[in-house]
Each structure stands twice: as C-alpha cells, then as structure tokens.
Chain A
Amino acid sequence: MQGGSWHFTFSAMRAAHLAPQWATLAFLLALFGFGAKAGLVPLHVWLPEAHPAAPSPVSALMSGVMLKTAVYGMLRVTFDLLGHPQWWWGLVPLAVGLFSALFGVVFAATQTDMKRLLAFSSVENVGIIFTGLGLAIVFLGVGMPALGALALIALLYHSLNHAFMKSLLFLGTGAVLHSTGERNLGRLGGLIHRMPWVAWLTLIGTLAMAGLPPLNGFVSEWLLLQSFLFAQDVPHTFINMLLPLGAAVVALAAALAAYVMVKFFGVIFLGQPREPSLNRAHDAGALERIGLIWLALACLALGLLPTYVIGALRTVVEQLNGARLPHANSPWWLLVPLPDRQASYSAPLFLVAIAAVVGATTLGVRLLYHRRVRRAPPWDCGFGALSARMQDTAEGFGQPIRHIFQPFFAMKRELPTPFDRAPRYRVTTADRIWLTLYLPLGSLVQRIADAFAWLQQGRIATYLLYSFVTLLVLLALVI
C-alpha cells in the first residue's frame, strides 16, 4: 500500500518501489507471519500440539508440505515482491533459525510421545531452512550472487528432503500406532521383530533425518555447510566472524538430530517390548507398505542423484532473483556446486564404495572364518532376571540433553527419598516459552475481555438500547 497503489496483485506489488524503512517493516512482518506458520521459535507452540493430534498421513502432509508453504511465502515476499533485500535483513532469520533449530532438537530429545518428538524435529528443520534463507539474503545483499544461489539451493533442497523424510517417519509411526494403539514411547519397543517391513523402511527415514551419507539429509546439510564456509568473505567485520559460529550451531543441531533419531528408532523398534500386548502387533498391510516404500525410494533417489535435483532448483533460483550458480562440467554422479573451490561430493560413488567394502568384508569373513552361531541370554552382569523395564525409557535416553541444556526447560521433578514406602520419580518438562510468553498474554487478553464484560447486561432492553443509539449515530452521520 505504501507503494502508492491500492491493488493487491503481485505485479502491482512488484512494481511498487518502497522506501527502505517500509520495506524493512514489510520484511519483518512477513517473517513474523510466515515464521508463525512455519513454526519458528517463539511462535512454534502450536506445532507440537497440532501435528500429533492429526492422523499420521495428515501429520505427514502438515510437516512435509504445509510448513513449506510458509517458506514459499517468505521467499516470494523477500525476493520477488520486495525486490532487492538489504543484507542485514538476513541476520534476523539467521539468528531466529539457528535458535529454533537448537530449541527444537533439544526438546525433541526429551519427548515421550513419538509424534511430538517428530513435531519438534520439524521445528528444528524449519529453523535450518530459515538459517539458509538468512544466509542467502546476506550473500545477495553484499553482492555475492553465486554463494547466495548456493544458500537458496541448499534451503530449497532441505525443504524437499524434509518433506520426504518426515513423511516417511510419520507414516512409520502411523503404522505402529495402527498396529499397537500406542503413541507413548514408554510402552513400545522391540517392534523390529513383529513389524520388519515398517522397521526397516523407517530405518531409512531415520538415517536420512540424522544426516548420514549417502542419503538425502546429508546432501542439503553439506550444501548449507559449504555456503557457511565461504561466509568469511563477507565484508562486514562482526558478521564474518560470527557466521562460522553459525556453522558450528548448525553442526550441533545436526549432531543432536542424530541423537534424537537414534532415540526414536531405538526405543520404538529395538530392544525388548515394554508391554506384553506388543507381542500381538502385526506388520503393515500391502497399502501401508507401498506408502512407505515409495517415500523411502524417494529419499534414496534425492540422496543419490543430487545433480539432477540441483539442476531443477537452479532454474528456480535464477527465476527468483537472477542469481545463478556457476555451471560445472562434471558428470552426473559428481556434485560440484562451486567449481573454483575444490569441494565435491558423489553420493553414488560413496554408496558403491561402502557397499563394496562391506560386501568384501562379509565375503571374506564368510569364506575364511565361518564358524557357528549360538543363541544365548544377554549379558546381565550376574543380576539375573533383567526385565524389559530395565532398558532405557524415552526420558532416560533424553536425560543427558536435559542435563546439559537445563536453561531451555522449565522442569519439575519429584524425587523419592530413602524413607518412601512406595518411591516414585516424576519429571515433567515444559516449554518455557509457553509459560513465560503465552500464558501471561492469554491471561492479559482474558482480563481485558472481562473488563468489557459489563457490556453484556443480559437484559433485552439494554441490547435494544445499544441498537437504538447506534441507529441514531448512523443517521446523524449520514445526514
């Protein structure tokens, strides 16, 4: 509107040239709005409540697609409608994204509901996507278009990857939920024996989410880290020292994501069943299997063929703001994003190498040293009678994170004393942001609403009086 015309079409907005402060305001408001939709901290509180409540395929759509529409909106506003972003705008999504990534993954590590865990993991990935966005804005603002294009490609690739990985994981949890009726991690376990198809296909999603080569999670992380690496050429003094620290935070979030995924897969599928009813679990049906299989294949394909994906994304980025990634004359199986820096990655070759070595080892061991295999009870340190309750619970596995990242949590603990007849230990972790930001806001709104409650007198005569007074005022205005 500030641009002069009152048309709300895209072409009109593009044509409008805004003064810098209005453009900044527009950018920040867009970030607030789209960030809330995407689930950036501190506007993320709806995500862990909404995603688990939906049926699993819908949760998959919500995490995979709905959050990305916010990313699309942000990209549209920043690069298309606002034209030339100023470089320092990028610092806001960068900082907020990094904090969201860390926050999301730390909370994911302490969850006991498998879908809430995945929801918080979505918060983390959205944080990483917005970090890439911030980086792209910084690069494009200071006039480094190739690196800006790289950062944009990294974030778009990550959006794509996350859609497939998260959907795969949500469908896996859906299969588990359908089969066992349990969402609580404390009542699952050992399902790899009863549900092998679901387990092995979810394993692919787990490994992809943990960012392990040669799957797709690694590719987008690699691209993002590469663009961080060359951030030290940015010609502003504080920024070029702070950006490598941002890379360290991204690495921390990625490593924590691996932790969370090990917890997720290990507590649900590995170990012993924590409830006897789990022995009646059945494996996924044919349709469920197809759903899982095609997503797993997509994860594999996105991981093994990054050059094709980047080829497609490259045109998107060029259309968006004209920044182009330099072309490298490399074969289809080698990814070389920036030819003048010697950084390359080849997923197919990687996979072939690992498969070859593993295969050679297996073959060698089989041929030379194939002795018998005997089954026995596991090592119990002389205690005897190790029950299924003695393995790590979901809270137990998240305890180191809770200990190390204590300031993030609002934690309440009930500890047993030595004199309790029936000792119990209870810990509840709550989102500090909900308690400090939203609850006070909510109670404030409630109080304001209560203050206006006197308007609601309950007598018909009073309401007729309101209508009468309004009618008089309108007549006076018109005449």
Chain B
Amino acid sequence: MKPIEILTQVLALLAALAAAPLFIGWINQCRAWLQNRSAPSLWLPYRNIRKLFDKDAVIAERASPLFRVAPYIVFGAMAVAAAIIPSMSTRLPFTAAADAIALVGLLATARVFLALAAMDIGTAFGTLGARREMMVGFLAEPALLMVIFVASLISATTALPAITENLATQHLGLYPSLAFTAIAFTMVLLAENARIPIDNPVTHLELTMIHEAMLLEYSARHLALMEWAAALKLFNYACIGFALFLPWGVSAAGDGPGALLASIPLLAAKLAVAGGALALIETVSAKLRVFRAPEFLAIAFLFAVLGLLVHLLLGA
C-alpha cells in the first residue's frame, strides 16, 4: 500500500466527517429559500453539535449500558461506511475488506443498534419508532441491493470503487436502466434518511415520527453523536449516488495528487446540486401515511427491477 493510498483513505473519512453537517445546513438553506423563509446560517448544524457536546447528559433511569454504547457504535458504523465510498478518489485500500454488500450490512448494523437503543427505554414512543424504522429498513434494503446489483451487473464486480471506475469510463450516453435505478435510489435515499415523503425530519409530533422517535431519550454528547451520524448517513447516501450515477471527476489509480485536489470542488458542486434537488423534492411532496410507505418502497423496488430487466434486454 502506497502512502498516497493511505492518505486518500484518511482524507475521505475526515472530509466526510467534516462536510456532513454542512450538507445538512445547505439543504436547510435551500428548503428555506424555496419556502420563502429567511434561511438559518449554513454553519448552524456545527453549532448545534458543539452545543450538544457541551451539555450534561440526562439519561433515563432504566437505561442499560446498551443505550449508552449505541451512539458510539452507530457513529462508528457511519464513519467506516464513509471510508468505503469513493467520493473523491477510488484509491481506497480499505474497500478490499468491504464491498458494496458489506456497505449495506454496515448501514443495517447502524439501524439495528438504533432500534435496540430505542427499545431500551421501554416507553411507547421508542418502541413505536423502532418498529417503524425496522419496517422502512426491511423494505428499503432489498431495493438498495437491487440498485447495487444493477450497477454490479454492468461492471461485473461488487467493489464500489471498481464500479465507479467502470461506469466512469463507459461511453457517454443515455442508459435507461441507470435512469430507472437512479430514480429507485433517490426514493430509497428519501426513505432511509427520514426525509419527506416518508418522515418529517423537523416534526415534533411523536406519533408521526420514525427516526426522531428513536432519538427522543438522547441528550448532550450522545445526541450530538446521533445527529452527526444522521448527517453522515445522508452524506454517505449522496456519495453512493454520485459514485453510481455521476461517477466522473473522481480521481482514480494512476492519477497524481492534482486529480485528487481537482475532485474536491467537483464533489462540492455535485453536493450543492444534490442538496438543492433534495430540498425541491421535499418541498413539493407531502408526507405519506405510514402504511403508504411500503407502497412507496415497493415502487422504488419496482424501478430497480425494471432497470435490471431493461439492462438485460436492451443492453442499455
């Protein structure tokens, strides 16, 4: 392993950690602009996290050690996931240890620990949130795996950087199969990250919460870690989307450090556009009833399967 590879690996991780709250801030700004409100500061999520870290933690009387350990595990899983996704460079030596399916497994780990922590307190809200989150999860995971499958079929591998490199070198053209899978991926992104139309990230009504209900009991540094992990999850999903559907500009093996530096503003541009698009989708959609969420995810799965079938038939 060459030093430049270790450097890019660590850089990918640190950049994700640093940029994730900024991405959330940007999405909130776009949403505010679209809704004709004055926007909060771009750096507000950072200040929130800092403020939360500085507080004393209040933990429920019956919380077990699992409750206190879960935020660290969730955060760790998200951070390791960020190290596998080729956001700026495909030279990530750690991906030899974990391919795209292991990435999905990591996201599942985070989800399971979050749900267990929510069940730990034993109130109605936590268990309600856990139940709903697992429901969204078990429907979104096959859809996500199908999306990755289509990409893997086109590139004949399941290692995410190899997929990115393969797709980046494909002839530029219209691929209906990738278009369908892109739509499926966007829907899965909305569902897994608790955005409208599946869940409202700014709601305070407990009976409508999915993700927020699991964080109700957390405070101070634990909540800070959970919020950061949620921001990281959205950032990771966005980067997976770029790696699969907008793979150009990512520095590959054999490029010098100049390519790595050049990929950073390109990534920033992609994130800006993606954030704007996400804010637009959130603004024009209404939140679905909880039991319409399976239909939503079934449609996402259908799009992914259609993409697969169109690829097998048309070769496109």
A residues sitting closer than 8 Å to B (CB atoms) are 189-190, 192-193, 203, 207, 210-213, 218, 222, 225-226, 229, 232, 240-241, 244-245, 247-249, 251-252, 254-256, 258-259, 261-262, 265-267, 270-272, 334, 341-346, 349-350, 353-354, 357-358, 361-362, 365, 368-369, 371-381, 386, 388, 390-392, 396-397, 399-401, 403-404
Contact = CB atoms under 8 A, between A and B. Distances in A.
B73 interface: yes
A268 to B, nearest CB: 10
Nearest to B76: A358
B76 A212 contact: no
A326 B56 CA distance: 57
Contacts of B157: 341-343
A58 to B, nearest CB: 29
B131 A372 contact: no
A261 to B, nearest CB: 8
A248 B134 contact: no
A259 B135 contact: yes
Interface string B104-145: 011011011001100111111111101110110111011001
A91 B246 CA distance: 38
A326 to B, nearest CB: 16
B122 A255 contact: no
B22 to A, nearest CB: 20
Nearest to A189: B122
Contact of A350 (B56, B98, B137): B98
Main secondary structure of the interface of A (DSSP, over half): helix
A240 B54 contact: no
Nearest to B313: A241
B72 A374 contact: no
Contacts of B301: 248
B79 interface: yes
B102 A247 contact: no
Interface in B60-100: 60-62, 64, 66, 72-73, 75-77, 79-80, 83, 94, 96-99
A258 B79 CA distance: 22
Chain B contact-residue range equals 35 or more
Nearest to B82: A357
A211 B159 contact: no
B216 interface: yes
A397 B134 CA distance: 10
Interface of B: 53-62, 64, 66, 72-73, 75-77, 79-80, 83, 94, 96-99, 101-102, 105-106, 108-109, 111-112, 115-116, 119-128, 130-132, 134-135, 137-139, 141-142, 145-146, 149, 152-153, 156-159, 162, 206, 216-217, 220-221, 225, 291, 294, 301, 305, 308-309, 312
B138 A256 contact: yes
Nearest to B64: A192
B97 A350 contact: yes
Contacts of B55: 371
Nearest to B150: A244
B310 to A, nearest CB: 11
21 contacts: A190-B122, A232-B153, A241-B309, A248-B142, A248-B145, A251-B142, A251-B145, A252-B141, A255-B139, A266-B130, A270-B119, A341-B158, A354-B80, A361-B76, A371-B220, A372-B57, A373-B56, A377-B61, A391-B126, A392-B119, A404-B135
Nearest to A405: B294
Main secondary structure of the interface of B (DSSP, over half): helix
B131 A357 contact: no
A212 B108 contact: yes
Contacts of A252: 138, 141-142
B6 to A, nearest CB: 13
B131 A397 contact: yes
B97 A349 contact: yes
Most buried by B among A190, A251, A371, A404: A251
A203 B113 CA distance: 11
A368 B112 CA distance: 28
Nearest to B109: A212
Nearest to B140: A255
B134 A262 contact: yes
B123 A380 contact: yes
Nearest to B158: A343
B56 A400 contact: no
Contact of A379 (B102, B105, B162, B217): B217
A342 B155 CA distance: 10
Contact of A375 (B60, B135, B149, B216): B60
Given A226-B158, A258-B138, A371-B56, A345 B112 contact: no
A346 B97 contact: yes
B280 to A, nearest CB: 30
Contacts of A256: 138
A379 B216 contact: yes
A381 B186 CA distance: 34
A272 B108 CA distance: 25
Contact of A240 (B59, B79, B312): B312
Contacts of A229: 149, 152-153, 158
B253 to A, nearest CB: 13
A354 B137 CA distance: 22
